[in-house]
Structure 1
Amino acid sequence: MNEAIGQILPLAVAVTISPVLVIAGILLLFTERPVSNGAAYLLGTVLGIGGVLAALTVVAATQNLSAGTGASVGAAWLRIVVGVLLLGGSLRRFRARPGPQEEARMPSWMGGITSFHPGKSLVTGLVLGAANPKNLAMAFSAAVAVAGAGLTVGQSVAGVAVFTVIAVLGVATPLAMVLTMGERARPRLDTWKNWLRQHNSVVMSVLFLVFGVVLIGEGVRQL
């Protein structure tokens, strides 16, 4: 159990450091219904990330991931391929970074986020949590770690829960600040939002580079 947790913790941290995911959550806290929208978005993120990991873990658990088996070798090569794709993504992100005097661009849909209601906030969190390629890569690696550790059902559920809780900290923290600090939290959140927006490409480039290397290393070790 401890070994599996040790493997999934850094993967969960990679998910929580997702600029677009965090920025969207912060923007929702500047709407007319900040707490309702923020809570709905957090719930959607939990369902998206946790649901994907749970599904992948169930699928991985049906395979014999013991060392040397066909499934184990296949999972190892898939990790290597995903790692290589992340390295390619790292290079693309780095090249797409804004210049010193250039303002970073964010997805066009964020322009209308101030008019979101809780239902739309929940769906947004669900989609961003579940459909993000980086999140899928991290969830896949975490699912292989959990399923390959020979855990009981209860331990596997605990592993999924631990991953999910850590993965959503980037979304939960701004909401917690608004709940505890009220209006005093807004200037700090605005600073965070602007910094993440401007450095989104660099942050993602570094994350892709680090975890691309990690996944390739894990895949090679598993062969």
Structure 2
Amino acid sequence: MGEAIGQVLSFGVGVALSPMPIIAVVLMLATPRGARNGPAFLLGWVAGLGIVGTIILLVSSGASASDDGAPATWTSILKLVLGLALLALAVKQWRGRPHGDDAATLPKWMATIDAFTPGRSVAMGFALSAINPKNLILTAGAAAAIASTGATTGDQAVALAVFIVVGTLGPGAPVAIFFLMGERAHAILDGLKAWLAKENTVIMAVLCLIIGAKLIGDAISGLAA
């Protein structure tokens, strides 16, 4: 179990440090339905990570991701492909960063958050965790890494649960602040939103670069073994 958990921690951190979902949940918490929409967003977020992770884990395990406890060759190839995809995403994010005093551009759908219902908040949380390219790649990498350890089904489930918990810390933090900090929460969350909006592309580029390099390194080590 320890090896499987160790494999997913960096992936979970990469998912947790996703600026746009954090900004989205901060904006939701500032609306009249914030007390319901924030937790609803987290519900969709957890469901997205869980469903995608479980599907990929089942497929990887069924395709013999582990050969006598060692990663199968195809898992190393998958890591290489995912790593290269993250590097390409890092380049894209870096090129799209604001320059000088340029204001950060947020997705147009964020302007409609005031009208979100709890149901739509669940759907948005699911979309940002399960469909967002960066998080989809990281979840796939985490599930494939778990399967490649050859751990038992129970240990794999625990490792996936750890990945989901770690990956939820980012968007979960504003919700915790909202309910625990009272009136002080608004100033804290406003500052967090402004900083993340400004540094979003840089944060994303660095995360994708680091985790992409790790995946490629793991892939090269696996193929050379």
What amino acid maps onto 1:50 in structure 2? G
Q: CA RMSD in A?
A: 1.4
Kindly provide the CA deviation profile for residues 50-105 of structure 1, in whole angstroms up to 9, marking residues without a partner as x: 1111111111110222359xx92222112112211211221121111101211010
Kindly provide the CA deviation profile for residues 160-207 of structure 1, in whole angstroms up to 9, marking residues without a partner as x: 111001101111111111111122101110100111011111001101
Quote the residue 2:148 is aligned against. 148
- Map 1:29-178 onto structure 2 (within 5 A): 29-66=29-66, 72-178=72-178
Kindly provide the CA deviation profile for residues 102-157 of structure 1, in whole angstroms up to 9, marking residues without a partner as x: 10101110011111111110110011110011111111111122112222222111
Q: Which runs of 5+ in 2 are unaligned?
A: none
1:66 and 1:154 map into 2 onto residues whose CA distance is 16
The question of whether the paired residues in 2 share the 8 Å contact of 1:67 and 1:222 is answered with: no
What amino acid maps onto 1:101 in structure 2? D
2:153 and 2:212 map into 1 onto residues whose CA distance is 29
The question of whether the paired residues in 2 share the 8 Å contact of 1:31 and 1:114 is answered with: yes
Quote the residue 1:210 is aligned against. 210
1:207 and 1:64 map into 2 onto residues whose CA distance is 29
**Paired-residue identity, %:** 41
- For residue 104 of structure 1, give the secondary structure of its aligned residue in structure 2: coil
2:14 and 2:216 map into 1 onto residues whose CA distance is 16
Q: Which runs of 5+ in 1 are unaligned?
A: none
2:173 and 2:106 map into 1 onto residues whose CA distance is 21
Quote the residue 2:188 is aligned against. 188
TM-score, length basis structure 1: 0.95
TM-score, length basis structure 2: 0.94
